[in-house]
């Protein structure tokens, strides 16, 4: 297969169970992966867990476990979450895996061979929660006068022998990258912040630690483990077989898209490209920093008691519905808010009452009034205008917007087409035509059959299970569900020729109950 496409998510810290932000990122990446596959691309999709570092080591200590025990236990929850949400990854990587240690040591040696590493002493601030070093000038003051990172997390003064990476050497190259390749970091709003950070001067980066041993060993330097971000970022290469440059590395590197949240843009667009340049590897084509998902406008936290288990949410409202809601509701790139009521309102209005109802009432009439039998149209379906409206939404607008990661806008175009179809059914009133003009009724119902198929194909990347169930009911073959099938004008005739009647349709977009009002 040609035309490779490599997409990755951030790898999550498994120091606790997955939260809704993890689910959001995994779902968005999955929608992109499914969309690109349906566009005929040869997709490679990687996600996983980031298991080293002080944050993991300390959490394990708190719980009286070894770091490895904690990692083994928690990583499973992340993989289970991906599986429960229909996330179609090719590899779920764990940074404790042997090939990952080998890849991290290989990139280390490549950077060393390029003269970019040296041994010195680190003295400065470190945030364990962010696994990040901060300059004094970046710190803010907490309520009790204590020093906090710009993300509001505690920092501790750290003094250690450490390997350093010559980040300062890459300052001009990074500025050039931001200025000359605007597509590298999206959305645009995130770029200015990074340019300002680089223009403020880059200091060399401490990239090894000696005060604990939970990490990848630095080759040839006893007592040093790599700074967790060095190995974490390298996961994107490990999954392709690096340091072997043939095989998957040759096919899929550079990555088409690293999908990450806005809080870790610095690591992906300053440290990571600098490491790659140093190791003489091409840079990813794009890093996209999505926004944060908030619970009724608030960050979820244990102290607020508003932490949502994404698997419970999916069980309560349905995986497809949760996926649809997240991609539809939030302008991708910006922060967004969710609540149970918002999920129910959106899903009922657009999936259950609009698309589901369109399919259910039309297919039921084909089943009842036409014995489920489709007939050849003598001419093309007469209702070209509706067919053209739907085709434009499904073939042009939605794919154009999805390719640019504007999911909510692409889905909006689709919803408008669904509304147009329902309006058409209301106006044509096929139930009345049954008596007055049965031939015309058939044309109307078959026109809806055609557009429902197009709409289901277009929405498959977002709502895969329900759309496939609907396409099964229509009798659309499994290999005719990609976007290319929307350009295949012969499909309806072939469908009729099979002579297979429609079964009694089963609704695939049930209405959701509004949750009881909270006290
Ligand atoms: O940052 N809404 O891991 P992580 C949306 N291990 N996205 C959110 C979010 C929210 N409320 N909270 C977090 C790490 N995220 C590192 C990554 S990659 C080489 C190493 C996103 O478990 C966050 O921005 O803290 C990140 O992209 C991902 O979830 C994992 O966060």
DSSP calls for 352-393: IIIIIHHHHHHHHHHHHHSTT-----SSS-S-HHHHHHHHII
CA of 18 to the centre of ligand 1 (A): 10
Long-range contacts of 90-93 (CB under 8 A, 24+ apart): 90/43, 90/44, 90/45, 90/46, 91/46, 91/48, 91/239, 92/46, 92/47, 92/48, 92/49, 93/11, 93/46, 93/47, 93/48, 93/49, 93/235, 93/238, 93/239
The rounded distance, in Å, linking the Cα atoms of 319 and 145 is 45
Place of tokens 């790659």: 276
Q: Taking residues 254-258, report their average pLDDT.
A: 98
Residues 415-424: tens digit of each pLDDT? 999 999 999 9
Spell out which residues line ligand 1, taking CB within 6 angstroms.
10-13, 21-22, 24-25, 50, 232-233, 235, 260-261, 263-264, 292-293
- Position 518 scores a pLDDT of 55
Residue 349 has pLDDT above 90, yes or no: yes
Instruction: Provide the ipTM.
Output: 0.99
Q: Return the number of other C-beta atoms located less than 10 Å from residue 465's C-beta.
A: 14
Nearest CA to ligand 1 atom 26: 261
| Mean pLDDT score across all residues of the chain | 95
Test site for ligand 1: of 94, 153, 264, most ligand atoms within 8 A of the Cβ: 264
The two structure tokens encoding residue 425: 């059914």
Q: Return the number of other C-beta atoms located less than 10 Å from residue 153's C-beta.
A: 15
The two structure tokens encoding residue 191: 């770029």
Cα distances from 33 to residues 8, 19, 106, 343, 514, in angstroms, run 9, 21, 29, 24, 32
- Position 1 scores a pLDDT of 55
Residue 89 has pLDDT above 90, yes or no: yes
Residue 376 has pLDDT above 90, yes or no: no
Residue 54 has pLDDT above 50, yes or no: yes
Output phi, psi for 365, to 5 deg.
-70, -35
Domains delineated in the chain: 349-498 (1.10.730.10)
Residues 220-240: tens digit of each pLDDT? 999 999 999 999 999 999 999
CA of 495 to the centre of ligand 1 (A): 46
Test site for ligand 1: of 94, 261, 313, 331, most ligand atoms within 8 A of the Cβ: 261
- Position 382 scores a pLDDT of 61
- Position 167 scores a pLDDT of 98
Residues 4-52: tens digit of each pLDDT? 999 999 999 999 999 999 999 999 999 999 999 999 999 999 999 999 9
Place of tokens 């590298």: 184
CA of 320 to the centre of ligand 1 (A): 22
Q: How confident is the model at residue 519 (pLDDT cuts 50, 70, 90)?
A: very low
CA of 314 to the centre of ligand 1 (A): 20
Residue 476 has pLDDT above 80, yes or no: yes
pTM across the whole model: 0.96
The rounded distance, in Å, linking the Cα atoms of 100 and 11 is 13
Query: CB of 469 within 8 A of CB of 510?
Result: no
Cα distances from 316 to residues 223, 226, 297, 308, 451, in angstroms, run 49, 42, 21, 12, 30
């Amino acid at each position: 297969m040609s035309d490779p496409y490599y997409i990755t998510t951030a790898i999550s810290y498994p120091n606790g169970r997955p939260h809704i932000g993890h689910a959001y990122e995994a779902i968005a990446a999955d929608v992109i992966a499914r969309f690109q596959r349906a566009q005929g691309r040869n997709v490679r999709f990687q996600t996983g867990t980031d298991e080293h570092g002080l944050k993991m080591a300390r959490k394990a200590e708190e719980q009286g476990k070894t770091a490895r025990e904690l990692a083994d236990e928690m990583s499973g929850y992340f993989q289970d979450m991906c599986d429960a949400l229909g996330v179609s990854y090719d590899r779920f990587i764990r940074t404790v895996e042997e090939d990952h240690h080998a890849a991290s040591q290989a990139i280390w040696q490549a950077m060393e061979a390029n003269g970019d590493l040296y041994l010195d002493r680190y003295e400065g601030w470190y945030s364990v929660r962010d696994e990040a070093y901060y300059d004094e000038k970046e710190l803010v003051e907490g309520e009790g006068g204590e020093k906090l990172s710009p993300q509001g997390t505690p920092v501790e003064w750290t003094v250690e022998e450490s390997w350093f990476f010559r980040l300062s050497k890459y300052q001009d190259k990074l500025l050039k990258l931001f200025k000359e390749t605007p597509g590298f970091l999206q959305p645009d709003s995130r770029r200015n912040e990074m340019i300002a950070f680089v223009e403020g001067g880059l200091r060399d980066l401490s990239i090894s630690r000696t005060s604990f041993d939970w990490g990848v060993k630095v080759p040839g330097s006893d007592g040093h483990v790599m700074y967790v971000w060095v190995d974490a970022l390298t996961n994107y290469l490990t999954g392709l077989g690096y340091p072997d440059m043939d095989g998957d590395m040759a096919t899929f590197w550079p990555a088409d898209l690293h999908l990450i949240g806005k809080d870790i843009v610095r690591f992906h667009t300053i440290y990571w490209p600098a490491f790659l340049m140093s190791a003489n590897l091409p840079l990813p084509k794009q890093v996209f920093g999505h926004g944060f998902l908030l619970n009724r406008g608030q960050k979820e936290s244990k102290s607020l008691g508003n932490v949502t288990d994404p698997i419970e949410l999916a069980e309560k409202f349905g995986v497809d519905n949760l996926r649809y809601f997240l991609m539809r509701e939030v302008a991708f790139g910006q922060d967004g808010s969710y609540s149970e009521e918002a999920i129910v309102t959106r899903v009922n209005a657009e999936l259950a009452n609009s698309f589901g109802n369109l399919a259910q009432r039309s297919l039921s009439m084909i089943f009842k009034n036409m014995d489920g039998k489709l007939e050849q149209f003598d001419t093309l379906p007469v209702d070209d205008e509706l067919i053209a409206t739907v085709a434009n939404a499904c073939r042009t607008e939605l794919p154009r917007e999805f390719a640019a990661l504007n999911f909510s806008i692409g889905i909006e175009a689709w919803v408008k087409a669904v509304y147009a179809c329902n309006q058409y059914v209301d106006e044509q009133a096929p139930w009345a035509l049954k008596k007055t003009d049965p031939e015309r009724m058939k044309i109307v119902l078959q026109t809806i059959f055609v557009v429902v198929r197009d709409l289901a194909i277009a929405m498959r990347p977002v709502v895969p299970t329900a759309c496939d169930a609907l396409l099964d009911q229509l009798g659309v073959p499994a290999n005719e569900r990609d976007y290319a099938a929307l350009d295949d004008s012969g499909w309806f005739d072939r469908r009729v020729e099979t002579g297979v009647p429609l079964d009694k349709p089963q609704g695939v977009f049930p209405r959701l109950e509004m949750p009881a009002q909270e006290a």
